[in-house]
Structure 1
Amino acid sequence: MPSLTKKFPTRKTKNSGAGFRAAALGAAATALTLALTGCTQLETTAPSAVRAQAAGAPAPFGTVDCRKAKCIALTFDAGPSEHSARLLDILKREQVPATFFLLGKRHIEKYPELVRRMADEGHELASHTWTHRNLTDLSPEEIREELRRPNEEIRRLTGRTPTLMRPPQGRTDDTVHKICRELGLAEVLWSVTAKDYKTNDSALITQRVLDQSSRDGIILLHDLYDGTVPAVPGIIKALKERGYVFVTVPQLLAPGKAEPGKVYR
């Protein structure tokens, strides 16, 4: 039987930036093989593998069965931002759920009403850490603090505790896996990136997403950049025309579930 996981070579890199900056977010969307770091090979699991492991289970009531449907997941990092209300309007109009990997400092803190709205409108809320520091550069206690604080704020605002996180710049290692396991968090990477940190050209962002999209894709976008939200209607329209069904990351894995400490892509 073939392995249900994929392995990617990783290397250790250092980041001189301690806080959240646009440049740091730019590096987050560089080629995945450069963004993933650690002391060992990184093992990631594809959505289809998660579903295969739960082959005998029924699909949850009221959700899309991605074993049959051509599913794809829209994900947005580093919000909420001043653009998030407009994005939520678009998603509501198009009846498209998304997964939001929220940043704590200056984002969850600044826009608590948008966090509540995201939850109320059926989107999946997840963590993108508190300050966007590279987790592989931090001590175990610092990693715990980066992951604990956004979870506590999201739970306080919505009554729900996130079960997913996305490491800044996609950088992770064995220590991060271990602490995520302790905190009940699974790591989610991406298979499609628009590199929206490099351009405000919405047409270019749209084309980059469409060029890379395939079944079970996880699309990485950032709703804080000026060109990204205007690109979303075109992305949704074109992918729907290609037969895609938009789902959250947990729906993409269903009837399987993400396991804490594991990495999904």
Structure 2
Amino acid sequence: MSLWTRKTPTKKTTRRAPRFRLTVTTAAAACLALALSGCADADTTAPSAARAKAAAGAPARFGTVDCREAKCIALTFDAGPSENSARLLDILKEKKVPATFFLLGKRHMEKYPELVKRMAAEGHEVASHTWDHKILNRISPEQIREELRRPNEAIERLTGHRPTLMRPPQGRTNATVHRISREMGLAEVLWSVTAKDYTTTDSALITKRVLAQASRDGIILLHDIYQGTVPAVPGIIDALKERGYVFVTVPQLLAPGKAEPGKVYRP
């Protein structure tokens, strides 16, 4: 994920120009803050709302945890797999922590197919981050379909399971993306915690940022493609476990509800 900028159209100078520039600058800053927090221009559904919507009489337990009772949090990684993913999987296995991986196709799944298989085999949720990280609300419907179709097919081929979740690059989405996601059986997943690990290699700073934002039902966004991120993961896990958090995948966070295609989920 990278920072985005918004260019302000050139205007002829008038007496009202200073107020105009201030308004546009403030709006741009607000939009940037929303993008970095995962709050795209979309109606979102919180995990607790997804659980509440589930049919009455659902079983009390879902695997090993019930997030209606437990203090759950989901660890998610974007834009892999990479040369750092094997070490990350070792850490998650050692710590007995499941994660959700939103994977890229081009230059990632293509390059590290065995890591994709390992992620699924070790109980992690394998999902899509598109094929080539194109910003979905800036491309045509045909291009959106291609960006979503290709990783779906690659994940199904490698793991035997077709993904049901996707994360739009930069959290950018709109009504067209929702409609096409619904057609393709995909729900969109945003986040509530970002370490902005694309801005630093300081693992201690990444850890500090995550811990400062963590809350119940949170979805943590990290990228294992960056050098400072994987070394930060053990400390993040240990500190959050000490606070009483239980780590779950995104589907476990929603259970007994299920992610609905075309909907956007964010704490």
Which range, TM-score by smaller chain?
0.7 to 0.9
| Residues 19-38 of structure 1 aligned to structure 2 (within 5 Å) | 31-33=33-35
- Runs of 5+ in structure 1 lacking a partner? 1-11, 15-29
**3-state secondary structure, aligned to 1:66:** coil
Alignment partner, residue 118 of structure 1? 119
- Runs of 5+ in structure 2 lacking a partner? 8-31
Once residues 141 and 130 of structure 2 are traced to their aligned partners in structure 1, the CA distance between those partners, rounded to angstroms, is: 14
Say whether the 8 Å CA contact 1:194–1:206 is kept in structure 2. Answer: yes
Moved over 4 A (4+): 33-37
Once residues 33 and 87 of structure 1 are traced to their aligned partners in structure 2, the CA distance between those partners, rounded to angstroms, is: 26
Say whether the 8 Å CA contact 1:32–1:170 is kept in structure 2. Answer: no
Kindly tell me the number of residue pairs found equivalent between the two proteins.
236
RMSD over equivalenced CA pairs, Å:
1.6
Once residues 150 and 194 of structure 1 are traced to their aligned partners in structure 2, the CA distance between those partners, rounded to angstroms, is: 25
Say whether the 8 Å CA contact 1:65–1:254 is kept in structure 2. Answer: yes
Alignment partner, residue 21 of structure 2? none
CA distances 1:38-83 after superposition (whole Å, capped 9, x unpaired): xxx5100100011111162224542310000000000000000000
Alignment partner, residue 188 of structure 2? 187
Once residues 91 and 183 of structure 2 are traced to their aligned partners in structure 1, the CA distance between those partners, rounded to angstroms, is: 36
The residue type paired with residue 252 of structure 1 is L
CA distances 1:174-227 after superposition (whole Å, capped 9, x unpaired): 000000000000000000000000000000000000000000000000000000
Give me the TM-score of the superposition, normalised by structure 2: 0.85
Give me the TM-score of the superposition, normalised by structure 1: 0.86
Alignment partner, residue 5 of structure 1? none
Say whether the 8 Å CA contact 1:191–1:219 is kept in structure 2. Answer: yes
1:249 deviation in Å?
0.1
Alignment partner, residue 8 of structure 1? none
The residue type paired with residue 53 of structure 1 is K
Alignment partner, residue 46 of structure 2? 46
From the CA coordinates, give the structure whose radius of gyration is larger.
2
Say whether the 8 Å CA contact 1:36–1:172 is kept in structure 2. Answer: no
Percent identity between the two aligned chains: 80
